[in-house]
Amino acid sequence: MKEEELEAQNYDDVHRVLKQVPGVYVRDEDGLGLRPNIGLRGANSDRSAKVTLMEDGVLMAPAPYSAPAAYYFPLTTRLTAVEVFKGPASIQYGPQTIGGALNMSTRSTPLSGWVGALDSSYGQYQTAKVHSYVGWGGDRVGLLIEGINLQSDGFKELDGGGNTGFNKSELMFKGRLNNDPNAEVFHQVKLKLGWSIESSNETYLGLSQTDFDSTPYRRYLATELAEMSWDRLQGKIDYLLAIGDRWDFKATAYRHQFDRAWEKMTGFNNSEVSFEEVLADPTSAKHETYYRLLTGEEDTLGDNEKLRLGLNDRSYLSQGLQLSSNLRAEGEGWGNQLQLGVRLHHDQITRDHSQRLVSIQDNRLQIEEQSSTLLQNRGETLAISAYVFDELRLGDRWRLTPGLRVERYETSLADRGSTPKREMIGDDFVLLPGMGAWYTLNDHWGLLAGVHKGFSPLSLSQTGQSDPEQSVNYEVGTRWRYLDFEGELISFLNDYQNLVGTCTQSAGCQVEQLDQQFNAGSALIYGAELMVKGEYNGGSVGRLLTQLSYTYTHGRFNDPFQSNFAQWGTVEAGYALPYVPEHQANLKLTWTAPSERWGIGVSDTLVSPMLDSAGVFGGGDVLEIPTQHIVDANAFWNVTTQLQTYLTIDNLLNSAYMTSRRPFGLRPGKPLLIQLGARFTL
C-alpha cells in the first residue's frame, strides 16, 4: 500500500490498513492497534510472531529469534508504504518464512529543496494527534527530522472512572550524504536514529458474556492498575556502492534496544479458580464471590480472595550487520538479476517477572508492598543467514525466480532465578529452497506459480520440548493490468510438517507456561486470495476508485493429539485452527470531485466467525468470535494547494463487535470514533 492510499484514509491503526490486503489476518486486542496480532495465509497471528516484521528493510521485532513477539510497532500515520511479501519472495527476508514478511517504509530524506508538513487532528475520547516533519535535501546531501504524538483517554469505561487510553510518541532523524548521482561509481551513506515511547492503560482482563452484551465497553474495577510502559532506541547506518547500472552493494549495521514493563492482573491467589472460569460462569455458587471481587462489589475476606498483580519487566537487544548485492546482466532475448545477501544477527531478552497481592476494600484496590519473584531468565541467540535469489527472464514470456535461504543459529536460555543456575543450549541449521515462475500471456495478463519451504525458528523455553515449525508452501494464480482495471487471483496451500504453538499471556496461557512451545504435528492450510482494482473517470461527475479484496482460508489439523497449549486442548483430526476466519472481505470506494478539491471514501470490512480454540465451526462445543462488520469513512477538502482539512469516521455504524475472547474474557473493538484534522504541507 502506497503513501497516497495511507494518507487518504488517515488511519492511526495498522489493523485497519492490513484488513484491506488479501491473505493477511489480524486479531485486534485493545481496539486501538497498539499491539498488532498479524498472520499471513493462516499462520498464527498471536503477537505477529510468525511474520518477519521489518522497518525500512531491517528486522524490527524486539528479539526476532530469542523472543519474536512484537510488542513494538511504528505509528501507522508516519508510514509511507506497507509492503507484504508472500510465496517464494519471502525467503529473501527471514527468519520467519511460514506466512511471509511485512515491511514498513518510513519517510526518506528529500532530494530537492525544503519539505515539511504539520498534521493535527482531534476527536472523541480526547483522541489527539500532532505529526510534523521538516527536511532539506539536494543531489548530495539530505536531512529530515520527524516527530509525532498520539494520545487518547480510551473508549472503555472503568468502574469508578479513570483513564483507559494511551500516550505514544516517536521521533526520527535521517541523514544522507553521497557523491554525484550521475557518477559511474556512486557512494552513499545514510543514517537513521529513532526514539519511541508509550504509556498505555491496558489490561488482559475482559468481560463476561452477559456484561459484554449489556455494556461492551466496560472495564472492571480490578483492571484499574493495569499499565504498560516501554521505550525504544534504534540506530541504523547504510552504505551503498553502485557501479553503473550493473552492480551494487549495500551494507547495513543496526542496533535496537527495547525496554518494557507491563503490570496487570494475572489471576486469583486461589490456584483452583481462574479468570476464564469465573467469567465463563460468573453466577455459579463457586464463582459468584470471585466475580464480585473483580467488579468491586465485594470486599476481600481471606488470602484466597486476593488478586495477583503481575509485573512482566523485560529488556531486549537486537543488533546486526547485513550485506546485500545485486548483479544485473542481459543479452538478446534474456535478462538476469542475481541477488545475494548475508546477515549476522544477535539478539537477547532478559525477563524479570514478579507479582504482588491486591485486596479490594470499599471499592478500592489495596496493594501489598511485598513482591515475589516468578521468573528470572535470559535468552540469547546468535544467527547467521544467507540467501541467493535470482530473477531470470527468458524471451518475452518466461520469468523464473529460483532462490535459497540458509539459517544457522545458536540459542541459549539461562534460568537466573534457580540455584544452581540452569542453562539450556540449542542450535539449528536449515536450508530453505524456493522457486517461482511467471508466464506472460499478453501485454496485460500473466500466470504465476511458486513453491518454497516455510520455517519458523525455535526459541528455547523452560521445557525445551518443541521442534521448529516447518512447512512446504505452494501458490498458483494469475495477475492482470489494463488501463483502468487490474487485479490478481491466487490460490495457496501450506502443508505443515509441524505446527507450533507458543504460550503467551495474550494467548490465554498461565504465568507458569509463558514462552513454552508445543508441537501440533501436521496441518494443512489452503485458500484463495482475490484483489481487484478499478478506476472510472467520469469527467464532470468526478473520479471513482474501487478496490475489492477477498480471502478464503481453510485450515485444519491432520492428526489427533492432546495439548496443554491454551488454544488447542484436545484436538481431533479435521479440527479447524483457532483465530483464522474462513472468509474475509474488504470493499473500498473513493470518489473525488471533478475539481479535485474534495472527496469522500468508504471502507467496508467483513470478517466471518473465528473459533476461540481448535474445534468445528457451528459445533457448539467451542466458543466463537462472531462475524465482524466494520464500515469506516473519510472525507477531505483542499482549502488551498497547501492546506487540507479532513474528517475520519471509524466504525461508522457504531457496531459493538467482539475481537477476541482471549486471554481472559470478551474484548471489544473500537466504537464510533469521529476525528477532524488539518494538514499543512510546504
ω before 663 within 30° of 0 (cis)?
Answer: yes
**In this structure, are residues 36 and 70 in contact, taking their beta carbons and an 8 Å threshold?**
yes
d(CA 161, CA 147): 31
Residue 3 per-residue DSSP state: H
- Confidence band (pLDDT; 50, 70, 90) for 518? confident
20 in Cβ contact with 602 (< 8 Å): no
Of 173-187, 223-237, 259-273, 498-512, minimum mean pLDDT range: 498-512
Per-residue pLDDT tens over the stretch 290-306 = 999 999 999 999 999 99
Going from N- to C-terminal start, the domains of the chain cover: 3-681
Q: Is 361 buried (19+), middle (13-18) or exposed (0-12) by CB count in 10 A? A: exposed
* Residue type at 473 in one-letter notation: N
| SS3 (DSSP) at 246 | coil
Residue 31 CA: distances (Å) to CA of 343, 563, 581 = 36, 30, 18
- What mean pLDDT is predicted for residues 665-675? 97
CB–CB of 43/97 below 8 Å?
Answer: no
Query: Rounded to whole angstroms, how far apart are CA atoms 38 and 43?
Result: 9
Only one residue has cell 527536511, namely 135
Contact 392, 403 (CB under 8 A): no
Distances in Å between the Cα of 623 and the Cα atoms of 218, 518, 578, 618, 619 are: 21, 22, 10, 9, 9
Residue 506 CB coordination number (10 Å): 18
Grid coordinates of 566: 491454551
pLDDT tens digits, 368-423: 988 999 889 999 999 999 999 999 999 999 999 999 999 999 999 998 776 667 78
Cell of 356: 504482588
Rounded distance between C-alpha atoms, residue 446 and residue 452, angstroms:
20
pLDDT digits (tens, 9 = 90+) for 57-112: 999 999 999 998 888 999 999 999 999 999 999 999 989 998 899 999 999 999 99
Residue 508 pLDDT class (50, 70, 90 cuts): confident
The length of the chain is 682
Which CATH number is 3-681's, of 2.40.170.20, 3.90.45.10, 2.60.40.3880, 3.40.50.720?
2.40.170.20
pLDDT digits (tens, 9 = 90+) for 115-153: 999 999 999 999 999 999 999 999 999 999 999 999 999
Q: Which helix (H) or strand (E) holds 210?
A: helix 209-214
**Secondary structure letter of residue 46 according to DSSP:** G
Q: At a CB cut-off of 8 Å and minimum separation 6, what does 589 contact?
A: 544, 545, 546, 601, 602
Distance CA 580, CA 582 (A): 6
Average pLDDT taken over every residue of the chain:
94
pTM metric for this prediction: 0.94
| Of residues 77, 23, 28, 32, the one with CA closest to residue 51 | 23
Between strands 52-55 and 101-106, the pairing is parallel
| 280 contacts 343 by C-beta, under 8 angstroms | no
Q: Which secondary structure element, helix H or strand E, spans residue 211, and what is its range?
A: helix 209-214
Identify any residues that bridge with 347 across adjacent strands, giving them in sequence order: 318, 381
